[in-house]
Structure 1
């Protein structure tokens, strides 16, 4: 079988979820501006996505998951999310459909399914990206792979002795398989609260958290969180006294389903257990609880293994970025990280927050790919 041909673009976006599509929107706008004569040459670009379909992580969430905000405050740049006619806020399925429409509306050049194995500095500058469908060269890489494929589960003594089922947020699809079973939900963030609430009517749920749950005020939604984070980042950048951040307000957004379960007394958290036993879990005082299932709602880590060959500088466990532009790598002016959270842009892991980070990233990427004498390192 002949090898796939080498493909070349100015800007390669790795990841076709919400962050990758937002970058694609601004890259596509440069192309439209060139076609209309409003600007000079636009960079060529492509988006590589490991998923077989559009929708990013949203296509993998459980059906009852809902956004923190109404549709009007949950849009990517350029095209507002259509209104949601169901109860509460838009569902994960609604978001996935929105992303499918968004990609088609702007005819973004997404290639899928394509799995990236590694990104290397190319001889003479730029990057060589190896995938399961051939190689790409580019002058710029925008890495927008998210974290869904890297679930984090902490090590707890005795976990290999537990005879029940263990799964992660990434594996949860709904309450039906757990009806009538004893389920322990671990995690004091939004996923833990939402999954515990989702299961409360179907299973015997025990919710455990390392610290007492901290709910944000009931009137705080995703838009308010974005505004809070943005004001704090701007104040810090200007050397001004910083207002309280999101973490100072709480950890859990009280979306309608969580609020209903909380107010009904169904979300009473217990402290984290200390070890597993064959039939369940055990606390430090030797109290035991029988469990059929343990669901780890303990977060994710950025999916960056394919960048190991670049030997990037790290800071607090993630790639170091430029203080002047938090999406740009501190090691290279042509490598960017988009959509992973506050370390690469305030609220950049959210639908409403990723647009500003994508706009600034694409502007910087355009300049980087035009720079004379460019080298990747």
Structure 2
């Protein structure tokens, strides 16, 4: 790996921030179109090894249980084993890719700020400054976990952790775990916890968006259109499950039927060792509406929750149930990791960044490209976005491309 003395304040053509799917794709196309690695462009990665966010996933997440890994340009992921841990297989693939194409990855280097500087950008890092005519931001979401606020959560005396901190289910054996979230990560955590002898309670802010629709090419295009429509208005991107729904596949249907994957309702508030849910009813066994899973659940198999009915009125007691719990697992997703772009002041009132029709160009900051943001957050979208961002960055570089 090249020495980080490239970060000496001199001006490069392009700085790519992030070495996940989008960042590697962008780097590939920059090199393929003639920019010289280390001299004209570099990739800054905050991780201490290849793999992006994949290197931090929990061990039980296999390739067969992820939404899919799209190949990087110019190199396939050869014969992937669906039962192999994603946190080892994908980093190995990324590392081999970096080596094959000689990509200029500097790591670990954390970008702390990006500011406008004349007709380019000043990038500050924990290892020195660097200037660039153009910036491709490909930082994904992993470093910005989202945890919603609920009354009393700060006073809960048990353990609380987010998807980002989850490693395995064995540590929760014999405990009752409240799993919060409406996406596939929440479902897989529930299944794994149950298999390891933990008792689970599933809660989320909304009814699970189960769908029997095939996740085909048309579905993917419709998802991208829905997300792109928001980013073109400067709105914050929606979560994946909010747009895609959750597939009613054989991975989940048997556990829906037996009541393991039964949504118990919304959280009202926490106690020191309990949570009050709005949904279980006066007996702790009634269920709120389950969306498309309603017709699948065998209600005779749904177990009653321990605890008691609560409420100052009879109608409240008909819905609310206080459940004793030992831990909370927040499977509540992530937000785009963009704090380092704050000096550019490009956030819109809607919470997002106004994007051009190409999905990667920041409208209010020419020369800045966001790959893996919004519609390109999936691995398929990230690969395409990396290419688009690279092409845009090349157009932003002056004819006399800056060399060292």
- Residue in 2 that maps onto 1:367: 395
Matched, 1:358 2:386: yes
- Residue in 2 that maps onto 1:217: 212
Which of residues 332, 336, 360 in structure 2 aligns to 1:302? 336
Which of residues 83, 101, 108 in structure 2 aligns to 1:106? 101
Shift of 1:84: 2.3
Q: Which runs of 5+ in 1 are unaligned?
A: 36-40, 237-245, 343-347, 373-377
Shift of 1:291: 0.8
CA contact (8 A) 1:319 1:329 kept: yes
CA contact (8 A) 1:76 1:354 kept: no
TM-score by length of 2: 0.77
Superposed CA RMSD in Å reads 3.2
TM-score by length of 1: 0.82
Larger Rg: 2
Distance (whole Å) between structure 2 residues aligned to residue 354 and residue 130 of structure 1 = 25
- Residue in 1 that maps onto 2:57: 61
Distance (whole Å) between structure 1 residues aligned to residue 355 and residue 371 of structure 2 = 11
Shift of 1:93: 2.8
Distance (whole Å) between structure 2 residues aligned to residue 289 and residue 279 of structure 1 = 9
After superposition, residues 180-195 of structure 1 pair within 5 angstroms as: 180-195=174-189
Which of residues 323, 345, 354 in structure 2 aligns to 1:320? 354
Distance (whole Å) between structure 1 residues aligned to residue 106 and residue 143 of structure 2 = 18
After superposition, residues 107-256 of structure 1 pair within 5 angstroms as: 107-122=102-117, 124-202=118-196, 203-217=198-212, 219-220=214-215, 225-229=219-223, 251-254=245-248
CA gap of 1:349–1:249, structure 2 versus 1, over 3 A, is closer
State the secondary structure of the residue aligned to 2:397: helix
Distance (whole Å) between structure 2 residues aligned to residue 164 and residue 274 of structure 1 = 17
CA gap of 1:118–1:231, structure 2 versus 1, over 3 A, is closer
Distance (whole Å) between structure 2 residues aligned to residue 247 and residue 149 of structure 1 = 19
Shift of 1:95: 2.0
Distance (whole Å) between structure 2 residues aligned to residue 281 and residue 195 of structure 1 = 19
State the secondary structure of the residue aligned to 1:270: coil
CA gap of 1:253–1:43, structure 2 versus 1, over 3 A, is farther
Q: Which runs of 5+ in 2 are unaligned?
A: 231-239, 279-308, 311-320
CA contact (8 A) 1:339 1:349 kept: yes
Aligned residues: 346
Distance (whole Å) between structure 2 residues aligned to residue 282 and residue 27 of structure 1 = 53
CA contact (8 A) 2:209 2:242 kept: no
State the secondary structure of the residue aligned to 2:98: helix
CA contact (8 A) 1:8 1:138 kept: yes
CA contact (8 A) 2:63 2:81 kept: no
Shift of 1:189: 1.1
Shift of 1:360: 1.6
